[in-house]
Structure 1
Amino acid sequence: MENSTENQSFVKYVILLSMNPGRSFNEELIRSHVAYLRELQSMGKLVMCGPFVDVPGGMLIIQAADLEEAKALAERDPFVKSGTENYELRAWEISCEANNHLGMG
């Protein structure tokens, strides 16, 4: 059975953003964050992103070479750099037909 973690094309990185206590957004910070999202998009790094509707916070799914690059990209986000939000980073292995559902299909 092939180990699909060896195929980086099936690994994405999830950045979970959450607000730090006592902090808030302002228009300038939000615009900086959106500009950063556009930068990630132009680099081919942004898969999808958006805020949660049922709880505070948001999520970015990104493409990166490895966990170190994903961490660097997360820490460049103006929300994180400003200390307004913190993040949790997860490596997410996608189960799909192309990888025979992680070799178990």
Structure 2
Amino acid sequence: MYVTNAEDLRYVILLSKVPGKEMTEELIRAHVQHLKQLDGQGKLELCGPFIGYRGGMVIIKATSFEEAKQIAEADPYVQAGVETYELRTWELSCEANNHMGMG
């Protein structure tokens, strides 16, 4: 039976633009700086905006859901109230874990 290991988990931050809120260049630069800090700490896996939808996704490594929540809430977009977020725990299926023991 497969047992989930912490290294097989990622956290997905789904960002959604709040209607009527303005994005400024300064805010965008602060958001990018936040992402660069996460990358420098080895926590950022992937990120980027959606096409055809006002928002984006950030996939991170974190030690717990609580840490992932703190990271999401530290995002300047979220702090400024121009975007909201949903946080989801994502279990990886990959060769390293034999596709969750089913491969």
The normalised TM-score by structure 2 is 0.96
Of 79, 84, 87, the residue aligned with 1:86 is 84
Cα distance in 2 for residues equivalent to 1:72 and 1:32: 17
Q: Which residue of 2 aligns with 1:19?
A: 17
Q: Does 1:55 align with 2:53?
A: yes
Q: Which residue of 1 aligns with 2:8?
A: 10
Q: Does 1:43 align with 2:41?
A: yes
Shift of 1:98: 1.2
Tell me the secondary structure at the aligned position of residue 72 of structure 2.
helix
Q: Which residue of 2 aligns with 1:102?
A: 100
- Aligned CA RMSD, in angstroms, stands at 0.8
Q: How many residues align?
A: 103
Gaps of 5+ in 1: none
Gaps of 5+ in 2: none
Letter in 2 for 1:74: A
% of aligned pairs identical? 58
Q: Cα deviations across residues 30-86 of structure 1 (Å, max 9, x unaligned)?
A: 010011111111111111100001211100000000100000000000000000100
Q: Which residue of 1 aligns with 2:69?
A: 71
